[in-house]
Amino acid sequence: MAAPPPAPAELGFEEFQRIFGPIRALSPREAAVLFDGAPFRWWVAGGWSVELGASPRRFHEDLEVAVPSRDLSALRAWLHEYHLWDTSPGGIHHLAPDAELPADRDQLWLRRDAYSPWLMDLMLTRVQGETWYYKRDERVTRPLAEVTRIGTDCVPYQRPEISLLFKARRQSEKDEADFAAVAPLLPPGDRSWLRDAIASTEPSSHPWLDRLG
């Protein structure tokens, strides 16, 4: 039996575009315009959320936006003029307006239509009441009010220590660069939280633990 095709996340930037079409990701400010007045919480996650200066340190090939998974229906209604695509290990599939999203899915891709580039990656995030749960280990939680910060551009961003926790699992070249640039700038309490979270969810030999002190 043939092996399944690689998931979109396993493909490089150029290879993804060659197979699935061009990416022209929105900026955080453009996302804020798209979601202005939306009846659900949303925030920028991923690489953009660890940009703490006035100008980005590096190129960002995509834009990741987190939305509580409980607000999926409201999200789909808000984006009814766009096409949502369900991502899975086997590839990506158009999510028709009347189609149910499988319960195990936590990621959607967005574009206006097949003639248009990909705009963002929507991350469906578990939130129960006012508590946020880390999707890779739900023992790690934060009050929802402590998950985001407001940037100088008035856009809500995921707090950098939370974003670095996600990056600790992958440790790609850009993840290592983000950690090296951002970890020294974290206040002591945030550094301590990140170290404890990595210690409880990653191997004890994880190289970031010593660097966090």
Domain definitions of the chain by residue range? 8-158, 159-213
Residue 88 confidence (pLDDT):
83
Calpha distance 92→190 (Å, rounded): 36
Residue 3 confidence (pLDDT):
43
Asked if 8 and 109 count as a contact pair (C-beta separation under 8 A), the reply is yes
Residue 1 confidence (pLDDT):
39
pLDDT digits (tens, 9 = 90+) for 71-130: 999 999 999 999 999 998 778 899 999 999 999 999 999 999 999 999 999 999 999 999
Calpha distance 109→21 (Å, rounded): 12
Contacts of 42 (CB under 8 A, 6+ apart): 31, 35, 65, 66, 67, 156
Calpha distance 11→7 (Å, rounded): 7
CA dihedral 16, 198, 131, 190 (to 10 degrees): -110
Residue 67 identity (one-letter amino acid)? V
| Full pLDDT tens readout for the chain, 213 residues | 344 455 566 678 888 888 888 999 999 999 999 999 999 999 999 999 999 988 899 999 999 999 999 999 999 999 999 999 999 877 889 999 999 999 999 999 999 999 999 999 999 999 999 999 999 999 999 999 999 999 999 999 999 999 999 999 999 999 999 999 999 999 999 999 999 999 999 999 999 999 998
Specify which residues 84 forms β-bridges with.
95, 110
CATH class as words, domain 8-158: alpha beta
* Pairing assessment for the beta strands 83-88 and 91-95 based on DSSP bridges: antiparallel
Residue 75 confidence (pLDDT):
98
- Quickly count helices (H) and strands (E) in the chain: 7, 11
Residue 50 confidence (pLDDT):
98
Q: Detail the DSSP E strand segments found in the chain.
A: 43-45, 64-68, 83-88, 91-95, 107-111, 118-125, 127-128, 131-133, 141-143, 148-150, 156-158
Whole-Å CA distances, 176 to 7, 80, 97, 167, 181: 22, 37, 39, 8, 9
